[in-house]
Each structure stands twice: as structure tokens, then as C-alpha cells.
Amino acid sequence: MPTVVLMDVSLSMTRPVSLDGSEEFQRKNLAVHGLNMLFEHMASNYRLEFTALMAFSSLWELLVPFTRDYNALQEALSSLEDYDKTCIEAALNGVNNVVQQEWGSGCPCQVVLVTDGSLGIGKGSLRHSLQTLKHRGEDKKFPLPFPFPTKLYILCIANSEELQMTDAMDNLEHLLCLSGGDGQIFTMEGPLCMKSVQTMFGRLIDHAYSPFHAVLHCGNLSSDVQVFPRPEPMVVDEEVEPMPRAVSTDLEIVGFIEIADISSPPVISRHLVLPIAVNKDVDEVGAAATDELEDEPSATQMAGKSPNFCVLLHGSLKVEGMVALVQLGPEWYGMLYSQADSKKKSNLMMSLFEPGSEPLPWLGKITYLGPVSEAAENPYGEDDSKSPFPVQPPAKRSYAQNVTVWIKASGLQADVQKILRNARKLPDKTQTFYKELNRMRKAALAFGFLELLKGVADLLERECTLLPDSAHPDAAFQLSHAAQQLKLASTGDSQYADFDHNIAPMHTDFSS
Amino acid sequence: MKMFSVAHKTVFVVDHCPYMAESSRQQVECDVLTKSRAQGVIPLAPVSKSLWTCAVECSMEYCRILYDVYPKDKLVNYIVSDSEFHILNSWRRGDQSTHELMSALAAVGPPNPREDPECCSILHGLVAAVESLCKITELQHEKRTALMDTAERVANRGRIICLTNAKSDTHVRMLEDCIQETILDQNKLAAGSDRLMGIQQCELVLVHIYPQGEDTLVSDRPKKEISPLLTSEVHSVRAGRHLASKLNILVQQHFDLASTTITNIPMKPTLNVCEQEEQHANTSANYDVELLHHRDAHLEFFKSGDLHMAGTSTRENNFKETVTLKWCTPRTNNIELHYCTGAYRISPTDVNSRPSSCLTNFLLNGRSVLLEQPRKSGSKVISHMLSSHGGEIFLHVLNSNRSTLEDPPSISEGCGGRVTDYRITDFGEFMRENRLTPVAESSHDPSGKVPVERAKAQLERYTRYWPMIISQTTIFNMQAVVPLANLIVKETLTEEDVLTCQKTVYNLVDMERKNDPLPISTVGSRGKGPKRDEQYRIMWNELETLVKTHAGATDRHQRVLDCIIACRSKPPEEEERKKRGRKREDREDRAEKNGSKEMEDKSWQDSERLKGLLEKGEQDAEVIKDSPDSPEPLNKKPRLMVDEVQPPERAKGPVSLLSLWTNRITAANSRKHQEFVGRVSSVNNKFELYQHLKEENGMDVHENGKASR
């Protein structure tokens, strides 16, 4: 989930923080300090996150486009300049553009807005934006909610008492609410100083940027892993039972399925599964291996050399073309597979299915998937030529069962012509002729379209008179038999117009 | 869409009064004469459908699309009204199919034009519809039972679609009032009943049908609220294709559907899309097919405002919008795992048209098609995929945005990434054995565990002892151990399985006697690695570790362990004796052990069979694998790893007869031969004393290793 850091560089951020003695700080310094702390944390614990840095006042500027280069981000922070007034609406429009351009409209994003709680004055101020919310044309809509799912974190270099003295807090809460309500407002506790800004950013880190650690189990084999990005808890939007679900820290493999059988299933999110060193005081993350290793056999190097289940699993999944079905919690499943992003690099990935007992219709209920060994006969066949998947639904869909639809005249004409075409090839086509005739008869009876039965009967009688001399004598018998049966059905008399009745070919003695 | 929105229950009420027997006055030419046959033949007069036929076939089409897209729990109750009401099906899931409905409609037949119009009214049907909406469905019942305390969260909403020929606007108002009153009455009734549910919301959609060429007596009216319980809308439509397209629009509105037109479908014979019959038509022509599906399949377009770019076209004469996606070659194969964010069932709008059925058959045959979103720039963006699963066709939404997971560290850079001798092939085999298969819900397991729990239990058993790298294991590198290793993980063993395991063990004993080489990793030791007898000791230790983890499962598992302990516990002097090659006697010995007392004959047979097995085993016993690119030396001895996973020994349980017997024999044998040690193995009457101390020292290292943990 990419992050956009939106830094307020308006003049009010240069307000000095009153400190007894020592150095004098501006609010901006505090903000920069906090952000540096965030970036350092991400560099060591969350470095796969893409982050962009934007500065705004009445205008906005993209200082660092989305990157994993946290040095670049920190460098940009050190060279911030001061500008005029705060204009959040314009900045949010900027965020919208930057994110959509890079990630499209479906990718969830985190926005970290760092401001001092003085939200501008007059036109362009947040207060003004919110007041005029309802009187806008289509083209000047307020940028929130963004088209992409958003988590909005507002970090105020101010304490909550200060914010509550004005309407700033109300306005920020309104803003959070507009963005969809997912996010949080952080304020500073106690005096404005380095320590309290650290505490505030520490809370943000704990809340949104702590790595997700789990244990991947396959029976007695297991591996400590980091799942990146963090799987977010979700509420299953079921009107009757709104239940919040979170991915368990024990990921349990339940079995394996061929890629062809799982067949590009829909997923709600994708995550990298990175094995981490069991030794807890080592700085985890697979990415750590890319670090320069100055010190002699470091823990990561050691970790690289001791066998890890993830690597074994990844290798075999890749070679066999299979996925592992993994349980994430009660009635929630996902799959593990090998994903190659280029020919050289491949990785263990985990995709999450929609929570529920039957996320994929073609697998059936997951709880009713059992081990192959229990089946009386290997459902994959002795030579892997078969598969028990996909699970067939109890009923066929309309396109798989030759339904009759006469809404368009062409549909009706095609069915009548098909009967006539076969009528001309009697007795060779006797079976097809009666099959088509009966299909037409059934539909005509259901639709109450008796006139059609009479019409087709007339057509068959006419065909009978047009038979060439060379025609097989059986043809004439079958045609007049069929015509007579249709005529009887067209009376609507229940004796002849039974839906389940089929007109059978007439028994003749020419068959020799 | 919520589970219990108005879409959960739809009641069709179709007018069966004499008036509906009137012709729609839309004529269909069904006698299309080919030129060659046209001479002298008088074409058949065109036929025309009655208002009833039009109403029925359009409502069936509505149901067809509905059932295609929502095979479950979007329910239809079909009611026909004349001098009384006829309910053609129920809310039961088993009653939900167009075939059921068609059969019931055929039984009703067309309206009787000679019936007294005064007795007939649509009202009978509408009242029945309200009553029907109060009836509880299976899903409502299930959810109410499951929720218990919060059962009131299960809502009861529904929709009535009334196809009729109304007399005037006043008549329509009268019908609305009547429904409103019936709802109030029924809700009172429902309040006192367990089987009925009061209606919380009802949506009336009244479709007035009139013949072509007539003026309508009823005016269209958008949805309006009659009461908090009832909303009503009126559509005045001419019979025939206007009615059909109206109901098509309604089904889309009612069930959140959207339309996609697949364009540029090649119908070339080479692609096998088209049947032979029509090949002559125009082989190079490309066809379009329109599909309906849940509108979320277009979510990305709506959000990004890309809809226009995606080629929305507004068709003349109706308000329908469709997104155009282009058929894309090359096709995809099914062993590719696409990143797919949604999959939605489809229904073709024109199900039995030639292009539609060609496309659907193509997909049902197991092929998938990628679809491309046309862009002005000419760049290709593949946004969707059509694919069938189990006879159902789905429109998959593919992610076409930049991935946030790009350029991740390769797995080889992380933990365990430097290890090169993983047992990849073996784990592949393990995965095949642990594949899943659907189990019938009706099948009951005595353990009371659901199948997926049994699958997990199997994984647990199979992984009790599973070394991850080749240099950590000896036994899994030996073909000779395979039969035992495959069997011992089973939940239960048959007598035959035990026998197979024992044979495997005897086979190993035989190998040891013949001093066959073992595929022991030489990694970690300089020179030639451990001596041959040391190798066997490692192998036996490992085998014992494997079997011990299962010994507690059943007595038969225990017997396999006992067999191993018995066979390997021969003191060194006997080993020496064996080296001298008294094979025959040995074999008899074993046969004795193997067979049970009362079946002397059988034991002989067994020993003969064993002989064959042994000979065969000798050929298989060669090293099956070793890693040529073994990694740099590991500082651990493999057997230390073995010790790591050793589980606590099995609690003292009953000892099997076989183990009692084998223990006794072993003990007796060792006693018998003890005094011959020096003599038997002396060379030129000289014999090195205290040989066994060396081995015990070796053992000491081992024990220490164990103790230190």
C-alpha cells in the first residue's frame, strides 16, 4: 500500500516552539524530525513500501515521486523551503493526481498529512472548502473521497487543546470522515518538543507501519515470515452479521492444488511472504540481505545458510506448478504460490480470497476439501490425467443447455428452418428431426404459442407434397405423422399438449 | 447488493385473462423460402404472438438471465392470474429453474378467450403475490436459525413484477391501493406466526402491455412511494421487442447488472469457434457478442472515469449502455496464474444467436480469452478475461495497474536462500500426495472431523520427520527405504503394510551384511567420510527416528519400530559372523522371526518371497540421488539434526507378540554366540581386542551431542 507524505510548508509551520532555554525550534523542525524517524523506521522495517513526498502551501509540489529510496526522501526533507498559506483542498487534488497516475484507481493508499492545525484563511482554507462542499458543480468537486481506498493519517504538530480552541479539530474530523473514515488524527501530548513528536510518530508507526509477522505452518514444518504489505483487517459486509476479520499470525497450509485447477481465482489482495531469521534480535525482513554486510558472518548471512521451509516450499510450488491452500483464520483462506517478476527473481506470494466458506465456486466449500488418500480411487488418476476440479454446479446455465428463445424473429426462424432442413433429409435425419421438433413443441406449449404449432404442421404437410419421386417412402410417412401430432398439440387439449410428452418417430417397415 | 434486499424475492404476476389472448400484432415470418425452391410454392402466412406469449417469453428471459448470473438465493415465485390465481412454483431452491417454470406454464396453457372477462382479474394474482412474499425462504430460515438472538436482523423485502393489460391510470391506482391494504393485512397475520415474515419493503413494478399500433391508456410513471412499505412504478410498453428490451433493462436495474460487448471475435474455422455449417458465410468476419454480468466488473472504469474511453455506446431506441472490450489474441493458457481482482458470472443477452453460442461453446470447451480495453493511444491494456469453470462462464477482472510489489528481493537473497540442496523433488512428491479433492457433504467420517481438518491432520503426520535438505538425510536418499517411508505415515496400517515395512527393514539388514554403500553425505568431513559401519549406524538411527514419531499411532506402527530395534540391535560379534557369509542360516532365522508360530508353512513362503524381494532390492539399493552441487561444508553432522526432531518416546503401552518374540530370539542369539568373538573373527589367530570401545567412543560423541541440547 503506497504512502504519500503530504507536508505542510506554509508560513505558520515556521512558528517557534517555546522551549525553556536551549535551542529554538520551529514546528517545521519538529515535523521534519518526526518524518525522519518514520523514514528511518521504514528503511529498516518496511522498506518495500513505496513512498512519495509532497510539500504544499497554497500550491503543491511533488518533491520525491514514489520510491523505496529512503535516503532521497530524507534528503528532500532537509531542504524544505517556506511558502505562504495552507490550502488543503489543492494539496488533496494533487495527491489524487499523483496516486492515480502511478497506481490507477484500485490500489489502496495511505496518506500522511503533516500540518500544524492552522488550516488556512479565507478562500482555499479547509473551513471554506468544507462550508462550500454542497454548492459545487461536477467539475469542482471536493477531492475526497478519493476513488482509491484511502487511509488518511493526520499528524498535527500541535496539541489537542490548541486545536480545540478553534474549529480546527472539527474541520479535521470532518475531513477524515469525508475520506471514508478510515484513518486517524494524531495530536501531540504535552509540550511541543522533540520527545513528544517522537511519541506521536511512534504511535503512527505502531498503528500503520509495524511489519506483520506470522508463522507459516505445513504440518510440523514451519517458518517465521513477514507478510508484506500488512494484510488489513476487514469487515465482511454482511447485513446480518457484520464481523470484523483479521488475518491470523498462524498461517496454516491445508493442502495443495494444481494451478490449472485453481484457475486464476479472484483475490482481494496480494502479499509477499518473506522468510525471516528465527533469531528475534536480528533485524528481520528478507530485504536485509541486500544490505551491505560489513561485519563478519552476520546473523543474516547465517540465516541465509540454514535451510528454510519457505524456500523449499517456493521451489517445489514453482517446479510442480501448484499452489498451497492456506487458512488465514476461521472461514478465511488464501493461496501461496511462486511469482516471478522477471526470469531471475521469483518469490513466494500469498493472495487472499474473499472471506467465507466458499470463496471460489469451482472449488466448492473449502471445509469439504479432503486429502486425496481418503478417496476410494485417486481422483487425479494414476498418471495425473484427471482432476476432481472444477466442481460442477447442480444446474447448468442457460448457455450450456440449448434453451429456446424466440424474442427475436431470427431465433424463431432459425428453429423452424432447422426442422425443415432435417425434414428434407428424412429418413437419414429422423432422430435430429424429432429432437428439434420436440424442442420447438415444448417451447411453443410453454409460451402458449399454439398458432406456431399449427403453422409448422402446415409447413411439414407442404414439404410432404414437395417430396421428389426419388424420396424414400418413409419420409412421407414421418412428415405427415409429425404434422398430425403437432396439429393435435395445437388444440391445447391436455391429452395431446402435455409438456413432458415427446413426439416419437412413426414405426414403419421400410427400415431394411 | 445486500443478502436480503428486495432482490432476494421476486414475484412475477402475469395476467391470464381473456384479453391477453389477443394478438400482439407483431408478425413473424417463419417460412423463409430459399430461392431455388421458391417457384410455385405459396409461402405460409406469418404467425403472430399473443400478448400472453409475449409476456411469458419475456418474463422467462428475465428469469434466465437472473438464474445465470445468480444461481443461488435470488428467488422467483411465478403466479398466473385469471378467475383465480395459480402459483406455478415455490421459493424452494429446487424450484428455481426456467425448465420448471416452462413446464408449469405449459400446464396452464394460453388464456381462454371465451372465459367470462368479468370473473377474471389480475387482483387475484397480486393478493397471492403479497401472501407469497410473507412466506419464509430457505435462506431466511437458515439465517434466522443461525442468528438466534439477532434473528430480527433478517429482513423480508421483495419485489412484485406485474405483467398485465390495465384499463386506465385509475385502474393502476386501484391495484396499488389493493396491494397496500393486503400488505397491512398480511403483516398483521405474519406477526402472530412463526412461518411467515412481515414485509418490510415491497417494490411494485407494473408493466402495462398493449398491442402494436394501439395507443396506450396507461401512462408511464417513475418510482414513487405509496407508503413506507410500498413503492410503485409503471411502465407502459408495446408487446413484442419493446417489451423484451424493457424487461432486459429491468433485470439489469434490479440485479445490479452491466453489459459488456465482446468485439472482434474471429469466427474463422482455424480458431474452431464456428461450426462447419456456417463456414461459408464469411470466414473473415468478426462478430460481437453482448454479455450481462454484475456491474462490479466495470468498477475500475467507473472509478477512473475511463468509461468513455472504454467505448461505451448508447444504442438507438433504448437507454442501454455497454462497455466494449476487444477479443485478444494470443489466447492465454490455463497454467498461468493471472492476478485477478474479481470474477463474475455472465449471461449472454442473445443466448442462442450464432455468435453467442459460438463464443460460449468455445469457452465451455475449456479455453480462456483475454480481453483488451481499446484505448485511443493504441496501446494494449488487457483488463478482463473470459473463462469457464465447471460449465459456468466467468468474466475475470485483471489488474492492469502498476504493482506495488514490483522488484521484491528474490527468495534466494533471504533466509535459507543460500542453501542449494533442498529436497525440491521430494517435496513436490509430498505436495502431490497432499493434494485436495472435494468430498461429498453427505459422507460422514467416524472421527467427526470435517475433510479440511483431516487434510491438515494428514499434513501433520507426513511432516513428523521431514528433513528439508539432501545432506541432512540418508534414508530419504535410499530407494530401499521408500516402501516403509510411504507406509509409516499412514493413519492406520494393514497387516500387509506391516509386512512390507518389515521386509524393507530386512532388506536393509541384508544390505548392511553385504556392506553395500550408502548415499551418506560426505559433506562436513574431510576425506572419505564416515566408515561403512558408521554410515549404517547413522542410517539406522535416522530410520528409527522416523518410525518412532509414528509408533504411538497404532500397535501395528509400534510393531514396525520393534522390528527395526530388533534388527539393528545385533552386537558387533554377530555382525562379524555375518560378514563370513552364513546367509542361508540368517534367512531362516528371519523367516522364523517373521512368521507367527502357528503358521510355519506361511513363514517359509514368506522367506521365499523375501528372497525374491531381496534380490530385487539389491538392484534398487543404489544411490538414487546426491547433490552434485552440494553447498559449502556444513559444520553440523547430519545425525545431530536427526536428534533435534526426536519426539518423546512412546508411553509404555502393551507390547505386541511379535516384539516379545523378536526380543527373546535376539537375546538368545547373542547369548549363544558371545564366547566365539575372538575365534570367529581372528585373522591368523590374532585378534585386536577392545574393538568395540572405538565404536562406543563414537557413540559417546553422539550421546553427548544429544545431552547438550
- pLDDT value at residue A442: 94
Nearest CB partner across the interface for A267, out of B341, B348, B409: B341
CB A116 within 8 A of CB A27: yes
Minimum Cα–Cα distance from B339: chain A residue: A264
Q: How does DSSP assign B144-168, residue by residue?
A: HHHHGGGGGGS--EEEEEEEE--S-
Q: Quick check: A310 and B109 CB within 8 A?
A: no
- pLDDT value at residue A295: 43
A462: chain B residues, CB-CB within 8 Å: 41, 44
- pLDDT value at residue B521: 63
Q: Quick check: A374 and B343 CB within 8 A?
A: no
- From the list A276, A283, A285, the residue with the least C-alpha distance to A298 is A283
* Per-residue pLDDT at B383 exceeds 60: yes
Q: Quick check: A308 and B461 CB within 8 A?
A: no
- pLDDT value at residue B650: 43
A240: chain B residues, CB-CB within 8 Å: 3-4, 143, 147, 150, 153-154
pLDDT in tens, A262-300: 989 999 999 999 998 865 444 444 444 444 444 444 555
Least confident of A375-379, B85-89, B106-110, B605-609: B605-609
* Per-residue pLDDT at A488 exceeds 60: yes
C-alpha B469/C-alpha B629 separation (Å) is 12
C-alpha B572/C-alpha B569 separation (Å) is 9
- pLDDT value at residue B272: 45
* Per-residue pLDDT at B317 exceeds 50: no
B33: chain A residues, CB-CB within 8 Å: none
Nearest CB partner across the interface for A371, out of B334, B342, B434: B434
Q: What's chain B's average pLDDT?
A: 79
pLDDT in tens, A155-210: 998 888 888 888 888 888 999 999 888 899 999 888 888 888 899 999 999 999 99
Most confident of A180-184, A480-484, B566-570: A480-484
Taking the complete model, does pTM exceed 0.95, yes or no? no
Q: Label the pairing between strands A25-26 and A51-56.
A: unpaired
Dihedral angle computed from the Cα positions of residues B439, B445, B447 and B451, in that order, rounded to the nearest 10 degrees: 10
* Better-scored residue on pLDDT, A438 or B536: A438
A325: chain B residues, CB-CB within 8 Å: 436
Position B31 confidence tier, pLDDT thresholds 50, 70, 90? confident
Q: What's chain A's average pLDDT?
A: 86
Average pLDDT over residues B514-540: 74
* Better-scored residue on pLDDT, A458 or A141: A458
CB A161 within 8 A of CB A187: no
* Per-residue pLDDT at B638 exceeds 80: no
CB A96 within 8 A of CB A146: yes
* Per-residue pLDDT at B7 exceeds 90: yes
- pLDDT value at residue A282: 42
Q: Which residues lie below 8 Å from residue B631, measured CB to CB, with a gap of 6+?
A: A305, B418, B419, B420, B421, B471, B523
Q: Which residues lie below 8 Å from residue B696, measured CB to CB, with a gap of 6+?
A: none
Pick among B353, B435, B444 to test the A interface (most A CBs inside 10 A): B435
Position A138 confidence tier, pLDDT thresholds 50, 70, 90? confident
Q: Is residue B402 within 8 angstroms of chain A, CB to CB?
A: yes
What nine digits make up the cell of B475? 534414508
Residue type for B332, please?
T
**How far A78 CA sits from the closest chain B CA (Å)?**
27
C-alpha B97/C-alpha B68 separation (Å) is 10
Q: Is residue B707 within 8 angstroms of chain A, CB to CB?
A: no
Sign of CA dihedral A125, A129, A131, A136: positive
Position A342 confidence tier, pLDDT thresholds 50, 70, 90? low
**How far A193 CA sits from the closest chain B CA (Å)?**
35
Pick among B4, B33, B112, B436 to test the A interface (most A CBs inside 10 A): B436
DSSP state of A486: H
Q: Is residue B147 within 8 angstroms of chain A, CB to CB?
A: yes
**How far B609 CA sits from the closest chain A CA (Å)?**
27
C-alpha A318/C-alpha A312 separation (Å) is 10
Nearest CB partner across the interface for B50, out of A286, A443, A448: A448
C-alpha A111/C-alpha A131 separation (Å) is 23
pLDDT in tens, A381-408: 888 888 898 998 888 999 998 899 999 9
Q: Quick check: B435 and A287 CB within 8 A?
A: no
Nearest CB partner across the interface for B422, out of A239, A311, A403: A311
* Per-residue pLDDT at B600 exceeds 60: no
Q: Quick check: A397 and B342 CB within 8 A?
A: no
- CA dist A122 to A131, A135, A249, A485, Å? 11, 17, 49, 86
- pLDDT value at residue A136: 80
Q: Which residues pair with A336 in a beta bridge?
A: A324, A350
Report the residue count for chain A. 512
**How far A179 CA sits from the closest chain B CA (Å)?**
15
Q: Is residue B449 within 8 angstroms of chain A, CB to CB?
A: no
Average pLDDT over residues A244-250: 90
pLDDT in tens, B226-246: 999 999 999 999 998 899 999
Residue type for A481, please?
H
B462: chain A residues, CB-CB within 8 Å: 219
Least confident of B102-116, B268-282, B620-634: B620-634
Cα angle, residue A124 at apex, residues A122 and A128 outer, rounded to 5°: 65
Position A422 confidence tier, pLDDT thresholds 50, 70, 90? very high
Residue A334 class from Cβ within 10 Å (0-12 exposed, 13-18 middle, 19+ buried)?
Answer: buried
Q: Counting runs of H as helices and runs of E as strands, what totals does chain B give? A: 21, 18
Least confident of A332-346, B124-138, B186-200, B573-587: B573-587
* Per-residue pLDDT at A303 exceeds 70: no
- From the list B118, B117, B113, B87, the residue with the least C-alpha distance to B14 is B87
C-alpha A111/C-alpha A155 separation (Å) is 10
* Better-scored residue on pLDDT, A36 or A106: A36
Q: What percent of chain A has pLDDT over 70?
A: 92
Q: Quick check: B49 and A368 CB within 8 A?
A: no
- Residue B136 CA neighbour count, 13 Å, CB half: 18
Q: Is residue A250 within 8 angstroms of chain B, CB to CB?
A: no
Q: Which residues pair with B286 in a beta bridge?
A: B266
Position A237 confidence tier, pLDDT thresholds 50, 70, 90? low
* Per-residue pLDDT at A113 exceeds 90: yes
Which of residues 365 through 394 in chain A touch B, CB cutoff 8 A?
365-375, 379-380, 384, 388-393
Minimum Cα–Cα distance from B37: chain A residue: A466
Q: Is residue A123 within 8 angstroms of chain B, CB to CB?
A: no
CA A404 to chain centroid, in Å, comes to 37
Asked whether the bond before B631 is cis by omega within 30 degrees of 0, the reply is no
Give φ, ψ of A371 to 5 degrees.
-70, 145
Nearest CB partner across the interface for B153, out of A221, A239, A403: A239
Q: Quick check: A221 and B28 CB within 8 A?
A: no
Would you call B388 helix, strand, or coil by DSSP? strand
Cα angle, residue B307 at apex, residues B303 and B311 outer, rounded to 5°: 160
Q: What percent of chain B has pLDDT over 90?
A: 43
- pLDDT value at residue A125: 84
Q: Which residues pair with A332 in a beta bridge?
A: A329
Q: Label the pairing between strands A150-159 and A183-188.
A: parallel
Q: Quick check: A289 and B414 CB within 8 A?
A: yes
C-alpha A143/C-alpha B77 separation (Å) is 45
Q: Quick check: B435 and A2 CB within 8 A?
A: no
Residue type for A356, please?
G
Which of residues 578 through 617 in chain B touch A, CB cutoff 8 A?
none
**How far A162 CA sits from the closest chain B CA (Å)?**
38
Q: Is residue B209 within 8 angstroms of chain A, CB to CB?
A: no
**How far B185 CA sits from the closest chain A CA (Å)?**
27
Residue A470 class from Cβ within 10 Å (0-12 exposed, 13-18 middle, 19+ buried)?
Answer: exposed
- From the list B645, B513, B618, the residue with the least C-alpha distance to B567 is B513
Q: Which residues lie below 8 Å from residue A144, measured CB to CB, with a gap of 6+?
A: A92, A150, A175, A178, A179, A180
Minimum Cα–Cα distance from B364: chain A residue: A400
**How far A28 CA sits from the closest chain B CA (Å)?**
30
- pLDDT value at residue B181: 95
Q: Is residue A491 within 8 angstroms of chain B, CB to CB?
A: no
Pick among A250, A311, A467 to test the B interface (most B CBs inside 10 A): A311
**How far A194 CA sits from the closest chain B CA (Å)?**
33
C-alpha A368/C-alpha A263 separation (Å) is 19
pLDDT in tens, A432-450: 999 999 999 999 999 999 9
Place of cell 512368521: B595
Position A374 confidence tier, pLDDT thresholds 50, 70, 90? confident
Q: Is residue A212 within 8 angstroms of chain B, CB to CB?
A: no
Which ipTM value was assigned to this complex?
A: 0.89
What nine digits make up the cell of B632? 559449502
* Per-residue pLDDT at A64 exceeds 90: yes
Position B247 confidence tier, pLDDT thresholds 50, 70, 90? very high
* Per-residue pLDDT at B591 exceeds 70: no
Give φ, ψ of B544 to 5 degrees.
-65, -40
Which of residues 409 through 438 in chain A touch B, CB cutoff 8 A?
409-414, 416-417
Inter-chain CB pairs, A–B, below 8 Å: 450
Which of residues 452 through 471 in chain B touch A, CB cutoff 8 A?
452, 454-456, 458-464, 466, 468-469
* Per-residue pLDDT at B322 exceeds 90: no
Q: Quick check: B53 and A371 CB within 8 A?
A: no
